[in-house]
Amino acid sequence: LLRHLLFKLRASGPLTVAEYMREALTNPAQGYYTRRGGIGESGDFVTSPELSQVFGELIGIWYISEWIAAGKPKAFQLVELGPGRGSLTDDILRVFKQLASLLSKCDISIHLVEVSPRLSEIQAQMLTGGKVQSSPRDDAVYMKGISKTGIPISWYRDIQDVPQGYSFYLAHEFFDALPIHKFQRTEKGWREVLVDEDPEVPDQLRFVLAPSSTPAMQNFIQPEEMREHVEVCPEAGVLIQRLAHRLEKDGGAALIADYGHDGTKTDTFRGFRNHKPHDVLKAPGMADLTADVDFSYLRKMTQGRTATLGPIKQREFLKNMGIDFRLQVLLQNSQDTATQEQLRHSYDMLMNPKKMGDCFKFFALLPHHRLTHPDQKDDLQPRAPLVPVAGFSELSLK
């Protein structure tokens, strides 16, 4: 991949950081996710669903709670973006199965958006036991199967191919993998950061500043911007616009969980390899590259089509979802001390403010009518109070 990038640089000049990140992560032949996708203990980074079954279970409950609040629609799609090893959907499907009596009349289908052939195979194994049918290469649905719990699953490369309809969307550690542009304030004004060949060291890349303004810069830097360095992820913006459009038209909810900030951080672009920090410009394709999600930008890109909730810290969201009660039940049900120790350890990883508790955030997109009665202002008649959205306010036990 480095050789391919060097040829490209020599032929047409420096790359934007977004082009570099896209190649490094999802180049069809040599990208990190395409080839390695090292999620888990033996890989490059561990995610919450890989640490604890409770994480996915509580998210499953969140969707069921929203489904009930919407008046139990006859059908829903669960659409996951970037499902990794498939553990999160697997845990959610277990919850759906346990609550089968509640969901029995509901027609549920699963839709996975995944670009990595390698990870989609792992997902198929996890969710269906490997019993899947592949489609011809150019089909929008590239694979189909039935989950171990009897629910149809389809795989796509792009969200635009997922059928329209009442849907619950899920993106966990997905937005941070989308390519970012980087900009630096200089004495001559804003300049885009680019990736170029290092003239001093053979086969090494370095960051340079564009000598003049670039098209991306003119579109993405706000006049009121106060920071010295800014990262912008236009692909995330387009995706949020699509999600907001769909939710406005067909209803449902989207839950986005990732590490991120509300428009305050500057330089967050970083790499991970074998659970250690990795120089982003070294060995492209061999390490996970990531940047914090700017939730203020996502909120802005809904363009008011949906309401938003959050970002709220992961430890608060999970606490509001009842993680402490779930932990107690699991501890009581497990006989051996090793399992109990593992349960406590993964709880600490998810909840400890110094571990994943504070830096990971939850953010939701919901149709406006979910949070406010449509004609609330003019209506003098008392209305039934709207049910609070789980996770985003304190859990009250009645």
Give the position of tokens 């490059």. Answer: 44
Minimum Å gap between C-beta 161 and ligand SAH is 11
Give residue 104's identity as a one-letter amino acid code.
S
Which range, of 32-40, 189-197, 198-206, 381-389, touches ligand SAH by CB under 6 A? 32-40
Using CA atoms, how far apart are residues 99 and 122, in angstroms rounded to an integer? 26
Using CA atoms, how far apart are residues 390 and 254, in angstroms rounded to an integer? 13
β-pair type (75-81, 167-172): parallel
The reply on whether position 37 binds ligand SAH by CB under 6 A is yes
Helix (H) or strand (E) holding 309: strand 307-313
Minimum Å gap between C-beta 326 and ligand SAH is 19
Residues contacting ligand SAH: total by CB under 6 A: 21
The reply on whether position 91 binds ligand SAH by CB under 6 A is no
Question: How big is the chain by its Cα radius of gyration, in Å?
Answer: 22
Which of the 8 DSSP states describes residue 365? E
The reply on whether position 49 binds ligand SAH by CB under 6 A is yes
**Tokens at 236, concatenated:** 């995330």
The reply on whether position 172 binds ligand SAH by CB under 6 A is yes
Q: What's the CA angle centered on 182, arms 216 and 23, to 5 degrees?
A: 85
Helix (H) or strand (E) holding 77: strand 75-81
Residues 320/392, Cβ–Cβ less than 8 Å = yes
From the list 151, 81, 171, the residue with the least C-alpha distance to 120 is: 81
- Phi, psi of 319, deg, nearest 5: -65, -45
Residues 133/145, Cβ–Cβ less than 8 Å = yes
The reply on whether position 126 binds ligand SAH by CB under 6 A is no
Minimum Å gap between C-beta 96 and ligand SAH is 18
Nearer to ligand SAH, 88 or 194 (CB): 88
**Tokens at 267, concatenated:** 């330089």
Minimum Å gap between C-beta 229 and ligand SAH is 24
Using CA atoms, how far apart are residues 124 and 94, in angstroms rounded to an integer? 16
Which range, of 111-119, 130-138, 205-213, 244-252, touches ligand SAH by CB under 6 A? 111-119
Of 77, 116, 268, 302, the one binding ligand SAH by CB under 6 A: 116
Of 82, 145, 311, 322, the one binding ligand SAH by CB under 6 A: 82
Bridge partners, 39 (sequence order): 45
Of 54, 110, 177, 301, the one binding ligand SAH by CB under 6 A: 177
Minimum Å gap between C-beta 191 and ligand SAH is 27
Using CA atoms, how far apart are residues 60 and 168, in angstroms rounded to an integer? 10
Of 5, 18, 33, 309, the one binding ligand SAH by CB under 6 A: 33
Range 276-305, binding ligand SAH (CB under 6 A): none
**Tokens at 312, concatenated:** 């709220």
Nearer to ligand SAH, 83 or 391 (CB): 83
Nearer to ligand SAH, 237 or 367 (CB): 237
**Tokens at 184, concatenated:** 């630096």
Minimum Å gap between C-beta 374 and ligand SAH is 34
Minimum Å gap between C-beta 179 and ligand SAH is 8
Of 113, 122, 281, 356, the one binding ligand SAH by CB under 6 A: 113
The residue whose Cβ lies closest to ligand SAH is 82
Nearer to ligand SAH, 177 or 366 (CB): 177
From the list 382, 319, 326, 376, the residue with the least C-alpha distance to 353 is: 319
Which range, of 64-72, 115-123, 131-139, 219-227, touches ligand SAH by CB under 6 A? 115-123
Give the position of tokens 């706000």. Answer: 222
Nearer to ligand SAH, 155 or 297 (CB): 155
Residues 110/93, Cβ–Cβ less than 8 Å = yes
The reply on whether position 59 binds ligand SAH by CB under 6 A is no
- Residues forming contacts to ligand SAH in the complex (CB under 6 A) are 25-26, 33, 37, 39, 47, 49-50, 82-84, 88, 113-116, 119, 172-174, 177
